[in-house]
Amino acid sequence: MTSFTRRIALTAVAAAALASLPALAAEKVNLGVSIPAATHSFMGGINYWANQAKKDLEKEHKDLKITIKTAANAPEQANQLQDLSTVTKINALVVFPFESAALTKPVAQVKAKGAYVTVVDRGLTDTSAQDAYVAGDNTAFGRIPAEYIAKQLGGKGNVVALRGIATTLDNERMDAFNAVLKNHPDIKLLDAKYANWNRDDAFKVTQDYLTRFKQIDAIWAADDDMAVGVLKAIEQAKRDDIKIVFGGAGAKGMVKTIMDGKDKRIGADVSYSPKFIYDAIKLTAEARLKGEKLPATTIIPSVLITKENAKDFYHPNSPF
């Protein structure tokens, strides 16, 4: 082999070696974020934390650009996903689906064009359309209130529950709540009805409970918005038998009530903060900047919020 031929061969080997290195290590990340519009307080929190992530992460990483799109319904979100892929030309996507079934195909199309896809909270009907899934801990969301109520009641009393919307997510929460109560046979679950994570529906459901049951010791509202409706119904009925109202998700108003000790019925909450969209964006962006992948599933822990740790969950600038 001549020296010229040898140089050509070495160059080819070096080029091949470079091609085998992680391709994204030095590439820019053009990240699209697709979320529902701020139609209620929890989604207001999702929008707030998504924009906080854009502000913080673009400042920290010069090779990162984040584009946020909000949609009022599933068809609009599907159209926005197509625009993010073909017009904005994203190479990574964080999506909080408006609806699981309706968004599965549009998300799959974005992935098919080469974007890395992280799905948040509401899953898809076909998980092959995603690379990673990030969500809160729905089992803990149901287990922690049941454990708190059982302890506060000394293992004896009457309880009613308000469920969210009929989804797998709500089933996980209710199953976990019931599993704890099975260990406390002297606690009776009088009824559990859907109130759609809505304070007006919660008000009506609680009115029904207060009419039907003369003694209620604790109400699991399963959402802080619903807990507001529950408290209004109790106040209107002038009932003083309810010792505990347990909401959920760590809304700032409820956390502030716990911090200040203003209502003895509200001594605790369980975290399920919309901040998990911030975590999902940060995890995805920083992994892709390194040319890495996320674990297939990442669960953000739900924990008991009490007066002792409430300040860690209080975000006064968030709408939620």
**DSSP classification of residue 63:** T
Alpha helices in 65-121 (DSSP H): 74-86, 100-112
pLDDT single digits (tens) 189-220? 999 999 988 899 999 999 999 999 999 999 99
pLDDT of residue 41: 78
Is the C-alpha dihedral spanning 163, 165, 166, 167 positive or negative? negative
pLDDT digits (tens, 9 = 90+) for 242-251: 999 999 999 9
Phi, psi of 228 (to 5 degrees): -65, -45
The pLDDT confidence band at residue 184, using thresholds 50, 70 and 90, is very high
pLDDT at 107 over 70: yes
Q: What is the pLDDT of residue 315?
A: 86
| Per-residue pLDDT tens over the stretch 131-178 | 999 988 999 999 999 999 999 999 999 999 999 987 777 889 999 999
**Residue range 75-88, pLDDT digits in tens:** 999 999 999 999 99
DSSP, collapsed to helix, strand or coil, labels residue 217 as: coil
